[in-house]
Amino acid sequence: MRCYFNGTLLRSVLPPLLVTEFILGILCNGVALWIFFFHLKPWKSSTVLLFNLAMADFLLNFALPFRASYYISGIKWMFGDTLCNICLFMLAMNRRGSAFFLMAIALDRYMRVVHPHHPINYLSVSKAMGGAVALWLLTISMNAHLLSLKHINTTYCESFMVDTNHNLTWHKFEFVFSFYIPLLVILYCTVRIIGHLRGRQLVQHAKIKKALYFLIVVVVLFIVCFLPSNITQLLIWIRTQQAVNTLHESEVCPALEDLTSAFYITISMTYLNSALDPVVYYFSSPVFKKICRKALNLSQTEAIESAEKKTKETGSQSLSQL
């Protein structure tokens, strides 16, 4: 049995949230892609990862206006099943793509700091592009099923439905899997980088401390954007099983409505990563920061330029790319 909810709370909360995310995502990622295409040359292997993260974020902007319209209309989809599935596919591609490329960026920084002489640190741009294509193919393979979804209720456009007969589906499993694996990798890389720099007694360097603080902020932002929806999904699984075993069939769906509304709100919060990831690009390297400030006609003090030129340590150079 599938549960359909009236979504009174969602109709008031989600439209302004989605519209805000759309505006910020268009502005921030538009500027980022403009810099990548026309100003950031020559590219390096790390640049390829950052660019693909920006592309994953930009995909989101095609779907958000339709989602906002969906909730403004009282949870009534008016654009047909095909466009519904395309929008759901784009949303999933953003979630998975962002998580996978953030994981790849963390691994790249880890290798450059902890294993600076490893051959992988000298990958050509073409080989890095090959790795990015592999990540995209993985992401597409995990979400391709969304393009063929069948909607029993044609006014509903959702990929996450509470189904008491099929509590655990492939889509729900890979939703959780594609968060916790990148999270564990990012946390591992962060802890190892900090431990490595402490061992080399570089932590007290002012620039190193600033980079470490930013690295922690990146982890916090990843957790804030992605963790709530994943925790809520796990709670829905547990609560659904409990409700099916203890409640009458007619009482199951009403018992899950509040938790389901919380899930849709938290999953909409994941799209904030589209607006927050440009901060990663800005701090990715002194070159990107300089181009960005120049493009936006922002002044850059001689002190900052001097500090960047004097930083020679390998750990400092690698962390500055974070």
Distance from C-alpha of 115 to C-alpha of 99, rounded to nearest angstrom? 23
Which whole-number Å values give the CA distances from 103 to 122, 135, 180, 181, in the listed order?
Answer: 19, 11, 11, 9
* pLDDT value at 145 more than 50: yes
Distance from C-alpha of 296 to C-alpha of 70, rounded to nearest angstrom? 35
Distance from C-alpha of 73 to C-alpha of 112, rounded to nearest angstrom? 50
Distance from C-alpha of 250 to C-alpha of 126, rounded to nearest angstrom? 57
**pLDDT number for residue 195:** 84
Region for 77 from its dihedrals, namely left if φ exceeds 0, alpha if ψ lies in -120 to 50, beta otherwise: beta
**pLDDT number for residue 164:** 67
Least confident of 96-100, 155-159, 170-174, 302-306: 302-306
Q: For residue 167, which phi and psi values (nearest 5 degrees)? A: -70, -40
Mean local confidence (pLDDT), 82-102: 92
**pLDDT number for residue 52:** 93
3-state secondary structure string across 176-242:
HHHHHHHHHHHHHHHHHHHHHHHHCCCCCCHHHHHHHHHHHHHHHHHHHHHHHHHHHHHHHHHHHHH
- What domains appear along the chain, each with residue ranges and CATH number? 8-320 (1.20.1070.10)
Question: Does residue 173 contact residue 209 with C-beta atoms inside 8 Å?
Answer: no
**pLDDT number for residue 70:** 93
- Of 133, 115, 154, 121, the closest CA to residue 46 belongs to 121
Helix residue spans in the chain (DSSP H)? 8-38, 45-72, 80-114, 125-143, 170-199, 206-246, 249-269, 273-282, 286-295, 302-310, 314-320
Q: Write down the mean pLDDT value for the chain.
A: 81
* pLDDT value at 300 more than 70: no
- Of 269, 270, 265, 263, the closest CA to residue 233 belongs to 263
Q: What single letter denotes the amino acid at residue 13? A: V
Confidence of residue 295 (pLDDT cuts 50, 70, 90): low
Structural element, H or E, at residue 272: none
Mean local confidence (pLDDT), 146-151: 87
Joined together, the tokens standing for residue 104 give 């790849």
**pLDDT number for residue 209:** 63
**pLDDT number for residue 296:** 65
pTM for the full predicted model: 0.84
Mean local confidence (pLDDT), 191-200: 80
Q: What percent of the chain has pLDDT over 90?
A: 26
Q: What is the separation, in whole angstroms, between the first and last Cα of the chain?
A: 47
Q: Write the CB contacts of 41 (distance below 8 Å, at least 6 apart in sequence).
A: none
Specify which residues 2 forms β-bridges with: 163
